[in-house]
């Protein structure tokens, strides 16, 4: 289903290039001559840049947006910061209540209905964030690690909504469940965040987005799959962005992940070698392989 123009970045033999993917041609990328990623996310800018392009890359996978060799997908932009919102779906609230081992369980229930959302800093300067086909990490001192598939918002000046991407907020649920004050350790470590494969400039910001999660083993077998929709979010994108930048100097180009409504069963944990795929219609499919965070330092 067409949702709008998409921005990608590609690494090739002649260096890194920006590219534009038209809504009606998901298997082709118009290679652009320079340009600022944030400026290209302005309404109509990608279409105009594509019209001026003299190079087209054919044979792109329309789902993952993987290009033919020797090209490789890179992070679609370098976010100065990555922020996350929590407990924005009822399913997420229930999961956080179930995992909590302390009397602080009520905090998760209260924040779901509160005016102020839960927000936390996931990464800064890209030290813990990888792109398509990069390695995501699980902590060596965690026994219950999960992917959290999320819709990500690229923020402009003052929290303006510029575009949408896919995010994976990898988390150590047993560490957070032991004590909510351990949240930074459960959320912030090497390889704990993945973004990509593109940034979508949506035709309709109000339309809901279906989100799919699939986890495969090394042999390609499916060990978990599920789906949800942003239609189940309690809070809107502009509301979350507004709270994120309130009295807070978030640099333009940062990404705000908007929470998850989809988590595997409690007896599932990520282990090295598993492959995590997060798909959002109109944006693409983000694919990452699991490794230990220690390996990624």
Domain interval for residue 64: 4-74
Please give the Cα distance from 77 to 253 (Å, whole number): 8
DSSP notation for 223-254: EEEEEEEGGGBSS-HHHHHHHHHTT--PPTT-
Domain boundary, last residue among 19, 42, 74: 74
Instruction: State whether 263 and 135 are in the same domain.
Output: yes
* 65 and 92 belong to one structural domain: no
Considering only CA atoms, which of 149, 160, 162, 164 is closest in space to residue 244? Answer: 160
Q: Which two tokens stand for residue 285?
A: 């499919």
Position 2 scores a pLDDT of: 66
Pair (179, 229) in one structural domain = yes
Q: Tell me the β-bridge partners of 7.
A: 20, 199
Quick one: pLDDT band at residue 112, thresholds 50, 70, 90?
confident
- pLDDT-derived band at 278 (thresholds 50, 70, 90) equals very high
Query: 248 with 113, same domain?
Result: yes
**Per-residue pLDDT averaged across 200-215, rounded?**
97
Look at residue 11 and give its three-state secondary structure: strand
Number of separate domains in the chain: 2
Quick one: 108 and 54 in the same domain? Answer: no
Residues 62 and 119 in one domain: no
DSSP 283: T
Query: Which of residues 46, 74, 102 is at a domain's end?
Result: 74
Average pLDDT, the chain: 94
Residues 229-269 pLDDT 10s: 999 999 999 999 999 999 999 999 999 999 999 989 999 99
For residues 60 and 85, membership in a common domain is answered with no
135 & 196 share domain: yes
Query: 238 with 149, same domain?
Result: yes
Q: Please check whether residues 197 and 291 belong to one and the same domain.
A: yes
* 130 and 150 assigned to the same domain: yes
> Span 83-88, mean pLDDT?
95
């Amino acid at each position: 289903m067409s949702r709008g123009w998409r921005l990608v970045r590609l690494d090739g033999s002649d260096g890194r290039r920006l590219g534009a993917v038209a809504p009606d041609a998901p298997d082709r990328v118009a290679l652009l001559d320079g340009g600022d990623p944030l400026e290209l996310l302005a309404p109509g800018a990608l279409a105009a840049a594509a019209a001026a392009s003299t190079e087209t890359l054919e044979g792109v996978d329309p789902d993952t947006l993987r290009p033919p060799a020797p090209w490789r997908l890179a992070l679609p932009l370098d976010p100065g910061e990555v922020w996350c919102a929590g407990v924005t779906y009822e399913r997420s609230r229930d999961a956080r209540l179930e995992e909590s081992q302390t009397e602080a369980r009520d905090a998760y229930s209260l924040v779901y209905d509160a005016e102020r959302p839960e927000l936390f800093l996931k990464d800064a300067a890209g030290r813990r964030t990888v792109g398509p086909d990069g390695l995501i990490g699980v902590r060596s001192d965690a026994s219950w690690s999960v992917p959290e598939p999320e819709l990500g918002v690229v923020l402009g000046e003052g929290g303006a909504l510029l575009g949408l991407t896919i995010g994976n907020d990898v988390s150590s649920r047993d560490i957070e469940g032991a004590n909510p004050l351990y949240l930074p350790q459960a959320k912030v470590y090497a390889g704990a965040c993945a973004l990509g494969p593109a940034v979508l400039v949506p035709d309709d910001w109000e339309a809901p987005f279906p989100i799919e999660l699939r986890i495969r083993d090394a042999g390609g077998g499916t060990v978990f799959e599920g789906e949800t929709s942003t239609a189940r979010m309690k809070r809107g994108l502009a509301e979350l962005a507004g709270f994120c930048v309130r009295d807070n100097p978030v640099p333009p180009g940062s990404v705000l992940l908007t929470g998850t409504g989809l988590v595997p069963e409690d007896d599932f944990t990520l282990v090295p070698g598993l492959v995590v795929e997060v798909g959002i219609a109109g944006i693409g499919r983000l694919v990452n392989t699991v490794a230990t965070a220690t390996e990624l330092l």
